[in-house]
Amino acid sequence: MNKSKYLAVVCLFVGSAALYGQAPAKGDAAKGRGIFEQQCGLCHDALTTDKKMGPGFKGLFKMPKLSTNGKPVNDANVLERINAGGNGMPPYKDLISSGEKADLLAYLRTL
């Protein structure tokens, strides 16, 4: 593959990730914990799987599927749920930044 084709493919990939609001793969779990406590903790429990208003997240990334929609648990599907909301959860697409979402995902991976 010549350089111009390679560059075009890389730009397409990066551009499409930005278009769909995907957070970077890395984040700061410590910052994510604070975001969770401020934005999510009222409705979700981080330390158990018990339901508050929404499901508890203990072991979230060890589960095969999301309890709310049956999709596999991975960064993209969890981020999709954060962005879109649903079942009483507000959409957070425009409420928290992509960096905050990356931090939140990093924290959720530690549970």
In tens, the pLDDT along 2-49 reads 544 443 433 444 444 444 444 445 899 999 999 999 999 999 999 999
In tens, the pLDDT along 66-87 reads 988 899 999 999 999 999 999 8
Are 33 and 107 a contacting pair, CB within 8 Å?
A: yes
- Domain residues for the domain of 68 are 3-110
**How many domains is the chain built from?**
1
What is the CATH classification number for the domain harbouring 76?
1.10.760.10
Enter the pTM of the model: 0.75
Are 111 and 46 a contacting pair, CB within 8 Å?
A: yes
